[in-house]
Structure 1
Amino acid sequence: MTAPNDLTVAAARDALRRGDLTAVDVTRSCLDAIDGADALNAFAHRTPDLAMDRARAADARLKDGNAPDLCGIPLGIKDLFCTQGVPGQAGSRILQGFRPEYESTVTARLRDAGAVMLGKLNMDEFAMGSSNETSVYGPAVNPWRRAGDDTALTPGGSSGGSAAAVAAGLCLAATGTDTGGSIRQPAAFTGITGLKPTYGRCSRWGIVAFASSLDQAGPMTRDVRDAAILLGAMAGHDPLDSTSADLPVPDFEAALKGDIRGKVIGIPGEYRMDGMPDAIDALWRDGIAMMKDAGAEIRDISLPHTKYALPAYYVIAPAEASSNLARYDGVRFGHRATLDQGDGITEMYEKTRAEGFGDEVKRRVMVGTYVLSAGFYDAYYNRARKVRTLIKRDFDRAFADGVDAILTPATPSPAFALGAMQDADPVQMYLNDVFTVTVNLAGLPAIALPTGQDGAGLPLGLQLIGRPWGEAELLDAAYSLERAAGFVARPDRWW
């Protein structure tokens, strides 16, 4: 019999309604799994008492017979989401001791839907990273390992704790955020499904900001159906967020028909990168064949400005980060440096930020400040914004020409070893986002799902990109690909 913590959200929902399990049963199973998984370092702050209280409340709602889909479902929450009374540091020392007095809109919606919060999940500091190695909590560890090799691997980033927790069965699903691939890349590295919705589909209110025009919350789950269920609870208009779209939320789960006959799937030639590993190229070709066999029309397309996406992203994102992170000064909340006699407010700012921010955050803040400075604003920031417009126009033309979804690799490699890139040029780490950043720049929805494994047994994922506000159709296409791929592998328990 499948342990409760290893169930999908849909399976647990059905078992709870039949009375085969209680929310307390499922929650206790997850808490036991978390207690036995210290080696993964996925949870940064655990909330077992709160979890059991919410589980008992969920059971009462289930007994009354009018509970929503997520009632009694245990979730992990990325440390970027503010949760009332629970520590939230965004993976940074500078927010040490911060306990928000308010709840983010997304987590409030999940709470109101009866979901059970198990705790806060590890992540790269302020969501800046692709390996979860910039975290003040130390790196999260991928539950997958290469066959015959005990080397610790990255779960990806910045939502590495979320990915590791879902893949290892520590929670049934988790929240993530995606600024340049931070849901989709770790999902691909850990053999789970990660959905980045259209910009504005989920409220950003109460989520610690990295790059405000790029950040978007989304679900990280074991399969496509669970992603549809979770997104339905997370999404919706929020008057507290000026970028939140006032649009109805479809029934995403009901849209899962798995019938893509007659749909047009675009294959962008620009994503065939020099030096692409054979395993990634073969995975992509297999995915194309699966969608063709399912009845889709495969069409080669061009997204000519793709090659400029990564440099444009690494101008825009640091520029917005330098503005957003200016609020962390040691005055109002979080860490404050110990001052020497005679130090003034300038010294307090300097020492607090020097102690509180990690090296990667400092690097991006300095880059962002530079590209926004007088004399360089037009040369870098304004030029990057123009490139962003051209990238969005490429996608608009593809969709206007009848393309329903675009299929690409999710990552340029399988999960790599922790520490493998620490001494490398930072650009080498940034290249992990090469297939994902275009989606954020264009504000589009995209989903990563596992469709195969490499020669060492590590999971590999493909990415589907959809039309703006077309999450229902995107999830349906992903559901078809998921069924064709038949990926059911789980990591061997070593932790």
Structure 2
Amino acid sequence: MKTKSILALTFLGSTALAASFASAQDSDAEGAADMRASFAEVMATTDYILRIQALDDNGPTLNAVIDYNVEAPVEARRLASTGILRGRSVLVKDNIETSEFPTTAGSLALAENRTGRDAPLIANIREAGGVILGKTNLSEWANIRSNDSTSGWSAVEGLTRNPHAIDRNTCGSSSGSGAAIAAGFAWAAIGTETNGSISCPASINGIVGFKPSVGLVSRTHVVPISSTQDTAGPMAKTVYDAALLLSAMAGEDEADSVTVGVPRVSDYTQGLAGYSLDGVRIGVMRNQIGGNAQVAGVFDAALADLERAGAVLVDIEFDPNPEMWGDSYTVLKYELREEMGRYLRSIPEFEEGDTPRSLADLITFNEANASTEMRWFDQSIFYEAEATTDREAYEAARENAVRIAGEETLDMLFAEHDVAFLVAPTRGPAWVSDLVLGDNFNGSIGFGSPAAIAGYPHLTVPMGAVERLPVGISFFGAKWADHDVLKVGAAYERARTTELPEPSFRRWRPAD
């Protein structure tokens, strides 16, 4: 029925638009341009829904999209002349509240969580002319429930599949957002990151992902893990599109104090097209390339592209102080218990069943529904978080982790090596999804943790593939240097010579 509804809707909308377009051509050029834009966005949004129906609901069944609005083309037509987004369709990770859909964080415990609220970042997108197309799947609870999880799985929607190889993982926790954009299900999507949850799925699905400086985008009405590290960010096909969506979503929110007084620019796309790499000094994190020779080869080709475009590459051999990871984990556990409870107490009562009001309530729910919630992995991190109650120890851990990651790692590297940016491979290629044994990360590849823990910007851009499996290159900049990081990423995108893979929507097989 949804397919019939959307086809009928589109036919009627297109017919009306065509008539309006003809009339506008007779009257004025500006009106004709608006009609062309309106027609294009209606048809694009229609195509997105048909692709979701063909490839997500059916066919390879990617499980990237939880829910979507079949009347989105009507919204696209209405908004096609509004704001900077002009009717473009956006998918939203299902831990971010939108007024028309439930916000589940992938858990059956929140299946009835219909708050009727828009997160401020969603309200900003609507005001800028964006269409909220639907909700994307995610690693349940943003991958903070268990150390033995399989990324991309949630009890609400099941396992998200990678469009480039449907037996391969999509990484977490913004798995559905990454897979959806790679599959062509929307113009762009929103992910969230605490540590790697935008950058990893973007890299593994072969798209652009941007984790902004913490504070650039509001976190109000977003299911939390950590106020120290959480942020939402754009995921798109190009750096320009990610910058455009960031321009719409960023903004001050008095309910989220870290966003107040933040240095922002009104248009993050400004200057991207003309930015030159000539003479730009970039530090290459040699110790974070890892031991995979094929990834190293793709990264070397990306470095050669940067050099040909005029960048000055500076080799850096450095390993962060390992105290950073342990202290950050303490922070995540303490803040999860505190902030999850605060969020759950803010949601309306469910019409059916008990409304969870604390992390302890979620633990109880999972225990009572173990056959559906804990068939594949446990809730060991939830248990640890519930027991992490020492505030003095938490505050000491937070101070230490942020100082090591920021002042003693990123700030020190920028200053001592006189570089504006750092680069490293983002992650290795996608591993085979295994619900029984869990994830198979290659932890030797990448340098994302310092930026995540310190709250600094991190951009990943596709740089090529290993046996048709995408891999990305990461660009890191100083706190609040978000615009500069987007500029250097766009410059690399123009300079890139490596051919990028197209999704196959089949199981992986070796290249010919």
Q: Shorter-chain TM-score: what band?
A: 0.7 to 0.9
> Aligned partners of 2:359 and 2:297: how far apart in 1?
55
Decide whether the 8 Å contact of 2:456 with 2:478 is kept in 1. Answer: yes
Matched, 1:162 2:184: no
Q: Match for residue 45 of structure 1?
A: 67
Identity within the alignment, %: 28
Q: Match for residue 413 of structure 2?
A: 398
Q: Please report the TM-score for the alignment, with normalisation by the length of structure 2.
A: 0.81
> Aligned partners of 2:413 and 2:480: how far apart in 1?
16
Decide whether the 8 Å contact of 1:255 with 1:473 is kept in 2. Answer: no
**CA spacing shift, 1:288–1:346, aligned 2, 3 Å:** closer
> Aligned partners of 1:133 and 1:369: how far apart in 2?
23
Q: Match for residue 267 of structure 1?
A: 284
**CA spacing shift, 1:452–1:337, aligned 2, 3 Å:** same
Matched, 1:227 2:245: no
How many Å apart are 1:258 and its aligned residue? 3.6
Matched, 1:57 2:57: no
2:158 to 126, 138, 142: 138
- What does 1:10-49 correspond to in 2, within 5 Å? 17=34, 19=36, 21-37=39-55, 38=57, 39-49=61-71
Supply the AA of the counterpart residue of 2:176.
G
Supply the AA of the counterpart residue of 1:407.
V
Decide whether the 8 Å contact of 2:288 with 2:444 is kept in 1. Answer: no
Supply the AA of the counterpart residue of 1:163.
G
> Aligned partners of 2:423 and 2:64: how far apart in 1?
30
Matched, 1:485 2:501: no
> Aligned partners of 2:454 and 2:202: how far apart in 1?
21
> Aligned partners of 1:433 and 1:211: how far apart in 2?
24
Q: Please report the TM-score for the alignment, with normalisation by the length of structure 1.
A: 0.83
1:184 to 187, 195, 199: 199
How many Å apart are 1:212 and its aligned residue? 1.5
Supply the AA of the counterpart residue of 1:111.
R
Q: Match for residue 424 of structure 2?
A: 408
Q: Deviations over 1:279-319 (max 9, x none)?
A: 22222222222222211111133544254444343332222
Supply the AA of the counterpart residue of 2:99.
Q
Supply the AA of the counterpart residue of 2:67.
H
- What does 1:115-130 correspond to in 2, within 5 Å? 115-128=130-143
> Aligned partners of 1:245 and 1:278: how far apart in 2?
45
1:300 to 315, 318, 324: 315
Q: Match for residue 387 of structure 1?
A: 401
> Aligned partners of 2:452 and 2:426: how far apart in 1?
14
> Aligned partners of 2:381 and 2:33: how far apart in 1?
46
- What does 1:53-452 correspond to in 2, within 5 Å? 53-59=74-80, 62=81, 67-128=82-143, 131-145=151-165, 152-246=167-261, 247-256=263-272, 257-273=274-290, 276-301=291-316, 303-305=318-320, 307-326=322-341, 328=344, 333=349, 351-355=364-368, 358-359=373-374, 362-373=379-390, 378=393, 382-383=396-397, 385-393=399-407, 394-401=409-416, 402-411=418-427, 413-419=428-434, 422-423=436-437, 429=441, 431=443, 435-452=447-464
> Aligned partners of 2:279 and 2:96: how far apart in 1?
40
Decide whether the 8 Å contact of 2:464 with 2:500 is kept in 1. Answer: no
SS in 2 for 1:25: helix
Q: Deviations over 1:68-103 (max 9, x none)?
A: 221111111111110113211111111111111211
How many Å apart are 1:334 and its aligned residue? 5.0
How many Å apart are 1:494 and its aligned residue? 4.6
Supply the AA of the counterpart residue of 1:31.
I
> Aligned partners of 1:335 and 1:311: how far apart in 2?
41
> Aligned partners of 1:33 and 1:332: how far apart in 2?
34
How many Å apart are 1:135 and its aligned residue? 4.5
How many Å apart are 1:488 and its aligned residue? 4.2
- What does 1:457-472 correspond to in 2, within 5 Å? 457-472=468-483
> Aligned partners of 2:346 and 2:453: how far apart in 1?
32
Q: Deviations over 1:196-254 (max 9, x none)?
A: 00110111112111112111111000011111111111112122211114233242212
> Aligned partners of 1:316 and 1:286: how far apart in 2?
38
SS in 2 for 1:217: strand
Q: Match for residue 148 of structure 1?
A: none
How many Å apart are 1:53 and its aligned residue? 3.6
> Aligned partners of 2:487 and 2:253: how far apart in 1?
26
**CA spacing shift, 1:85–1:364, aligned 2, 3 Å:** same
Decide whether the 8 Å contact of 2:463 with 2:471 is kept in 1. Answer: yes
> Aligned partners of 1:315 and 1:385: how far apart in 2?
11
Supply the AA of the counterpart residue of 1:480.
A
> Aligned partners of 1:349 and 1:414: how far apart in 2?
33
**CA spacing shift, 1:417–1:368, aligned 2, 3 Å:** same
The unaligned stretches of length 5 or more in structure 2 are 1-9, 11-31, 145-149, 508-512
Decide whether the 8 Å contact of 1:185 with 1:433 is kept in 2. Answer: no
Supply the AA of the counterpart residue of 2:163.
P
